[in-house]
Amino acid sequence: MPQRTRQGAVAAAALLLAATTAACTGPADRPGPHPSGAHGPDPRRAFTLVASGDVLPHDSVIDWAGESAEENGDEGGYDFRPMLAGVKPFVSAADLAICHTETVYGEPDGPFSGYPAFVSPPQLAAGLRATGYASCSTASNHALDDGADGVRRTLDAFDKAGLKHTGSARTAAEGRRPALLTAGGARVAQLSYTYGTNDQPMPDGQPWAVNLIDERRILADARAARAAGADVVVVSLHWGTEWQTEPDEDQLTLAKKLTAARTGGRPDIDLILGTHAHVPQAYEKVNGTWVVYGMGDQIAGTMANDEGDQDGRGNQGSIGRFTFAPPAAPGQRWRVTKAEFVPQLMDLTSGRVVSLPRALREDPDRADYREARESITEAVLGRGAAEDGLTEAAG
């Protein structure tokens, strides 16, 4: 992975963050009066952060969204809201909800494509926003499937929908900025990086188009965000080995290094959210910081594993929820006081995302739902997260 000199970029990022923090509030913000009567976040208010896995629209997913739009009288349109309705209550209840889009968008009328080079309907951004998401990571191995035009159309659609984004960029300045949001009484910065782009080169003259994983860059960006006023720094990483439930050595090594990094005794990163493996992976507390190695897929069609066999794990995922409390003393970190997860499934019979705890309360006889829930839970708890307090939420 390329190593880059970041001193100038760090300074620029700090200036950009300082200049834009006040204006860059997320669509899920719930602002309230500051106790002193002053403007700005109330540092004493806790908040909840929800995050979910890869949104990967295969051809069948695009067809389902088209059918939903047609049912609502939008002939030729695409409506992803019904697909996500099953998790909307949980997502929209959070103070801040973060998604991950693995693909780039096309023009509103297409053409669209699934695997291997994904070009998705831009209406997906509105569907994510309507579900309650405030920000979405965009750095992935498919981020350059349609070159610079794909990046531009994707981020344009996010802007139109009111959805923050980080990980890919239309300009060099945008590439230096994290997604900036407020939640409860905290300023939150989200950063996003990918292990690669499927050997697709960066567009000519645009080396900043997609953020690549680089330990030194990630820490420099996190420190710049913190220095400019971010109370909580969240890092989204597209990493790992596809179809491998256990996190690989690269994930484990990078997680240890990133969570060990501190400035003035305070951790530089407060939460790591992983995507890419297409199967649920473990949650783990590393050096006192929660790491989600892989949340699995949130939206995907029929998935084939490395052997070419249909693999139902590719439609399984988890949604994480972390409750952050204000610092106990000035200069300390915002603390995660509660960590939870919700097993979820992309049901290929209905074309809908299902919150499994909720679905099983309504229909306890669904053996396929029970089996999926058990499989996801086993993966999520596979590195001892239960001992560190991770519990299943009601969904």
331: DSSP letter: T
Q: Residue 42's pLDDT is what?
A: 53
Separation of alpha carbons 381 and 385, rounded Å: 5
CA-closest candidate to residue 319, choices 131, 168, 119: 131
| Joined tokens for residue 32 | 């309230």
Q: Residue 15's pLDDT is what?
A: 42
Q: Residue 175's pLDDT is what?
A: 96
| Joined tokens for residue 309 | 């066999």
- The region that residue 39 occupies, defined by phi over 0 for left and psi between -120 and 50 for alpha, beta otherwise, is beta
Q: Residue 96's pLDDT is what?
A: 98
* 25 and 92 Cβ atoms separated by less than 8 Å: no
Separation of alpha carbons 169 and 134, rounded Å: 18
What H or E segment, with its residue span, contains residue 300?
strand 297-300
Spatial CB neighbours of 41, under 8 Å, sequence gap ≥ 6? 34, 182, 184, 185, 186, 187, 231
Name the CA dihedral angle for 205, 208, 52, 353, rounded to a multiple of 10 degrees.
Answer: -10
The architecture CATH gives domain 7-392: 4-Layer Sandwich (3.60)
Q: Residue 67's pLDDT is what?
A: 97
CA-closest candidate to residue 103, choices 143, 160, 133, 147: 143
pTM of the model: 0.91
| Joined tokens for residue 185 | 């009484």
Domain boundaries, the chain: 7-392
* 229 and 178 Cβ atoms separated by less than 8 Å: no
Separation of alpha carbons 17 and 334, rounded Å: 19
| Joined tokens for residue 359 | 């679905």
Q: Three-state SS string across 198-258, please?
A: CCCCCCCCCCCCECECCHHHHHHHHHHHHHCCCCEEEEEEECCCCCCCCCCHHHHHHHHHH
Number of other residues whose CB lies within 10 A of the CB of residue 208: 18
Q: Residue 35's pLDDT is what?
A: 32
Q: Residue 228's pLDDT is what?
A: 87
Q: How many CA atoms lie within 13 A of 311 on its CB side?
A: 20
Per residue of the chain (395 residues), what is the pLDDT tens digit? 333 333 444 444 444 444 443 333 333 333 333 332 334 555 579 999 999 999 999 999 999 999 999 999 999 999 999 999 999 999 999 999 999 999 999 999 999 999 999 999 999 999 999 999 999 999 999 999 999 999 999 999 999 999 999 999 999 999 999 999 999 989 999 999 999 999 999 999 999 999 999 999 999 999 999 998 999 999 999 999 999 999 999 999 999 999 999 999 999 999 999 999 999 999 999 999 999 999 999 999 999 999 999 999 999 999 999 999 999 888 899 999 999 999 999 999 999 999 999 999 999 999 999 999 999 999 999 999 999 999 999 99
| Joined tokens for residue 118 | 């994904």
Q: What is the DSSP string of 26-92?
A: -TT------TTS-SS--TT--EEEEEEEEEE--HHHHHHHHHHHHHTT-TT----HHHHTTTHHHHH
β partners of residue 189: 180, 233
Separation of alpha carbons 167 and 234, rounded Å: 12
CA-closest candidate to residue 385, choices 229, 276, 268, 280: 280
